[in-house]
Amino acid sequence: GRVPRWVHWSTAALMGCCLLTGATLYLPQLARLVGRRQLVETVHLYTGYTGLALPVPMLAAAASAGYRRDLRALNWFTAADRAWLRASLRFGSWQRAAARARIAAGVGKFNAGQKLFAAFAAGGALVMLGTGVIMQWGAGPLGPIPVGYRTGATFVHDLLAYGLFFGVVGHLWMAAHDPVARVGMRTGMVPVWWAAREHPAWSPAAAVPSRRAPTGEITSPNGTSDGVSRCATRSPR
């Protein structure tokens, strides 16, 4: 849907800004290259974890039924998700077509990897928010917070920043190898053959045949349009 995609891209832009400005503040080489440290710090604070900008897209989208439905799907792990994880962790098994079909069996709109990344990113954002507040205002408006707590907050903030960086890199790497998913994130539509292969429990095959959206989309089993295109699309591979 349009709202979940808007949240995705807005949050991605803010997260990218946080990581870039944080890296500039953390790495002396980047700090010397960019300069204007005070401006970089201000941007980091008020677009990131110690400001209010990052949660805004998610909070604003809470009024959307489609967005809330996606959140419920992301927060619900099934037996199919556990099977997906076990099979995917076997080195190379995801690369074979037959293995991919077995792995994807029962997977809905989001696979277990997407659910885990969403949980990690959301949880990491909350931890970064808390530690960032302690780092920035622990000696001032919130203080005096003991030095030990501020030192610990700095350590956790820096360590988790590395984790989020590598998580985002992995997310981008996976996206780079799935052109259909990238098109779906831009347009909100994916071809039927891709949905049936990657997310069979969400694909039109799992939909109730008598419930069809008038716009050319096929509805999911709950009768809501989830952006699966009915067009016959040739695989880009």
pLDDT tens figures, 120-179: 988 888 898 888 888 888 777 666 888 888 899 999 999 999 999 999 999 999 889 889
Say yes or no to pLDDT of 7 above 50. Answer: yes
**What are the start-end ranges of the H helices in 35-96?**
37-47, 56-60, 65-74, 79-88
Average pLDDT, the chain: 78
Work out the widest C-alpha separation in the chain, in whole angstroms: 64
Q: What does the domain layout of the chain look like in residue ranges?
A: 2-74+110-177
Q: Note the pLDDT of residue 234.
A: 38
Burial class (CB in 10 A: 0-12, 13-18, 19+), 18: buried
d(CA 133, CA 38): 17
220: confidence class by pLDDT, cuts 50, 70, 90 = very low
Mean pLDDT of 185-208: 78
CATH architecture of 2-74+110-177: Up-down Bundle (1.20)
Q: Note the pLDDT of residue 106.
A: 79
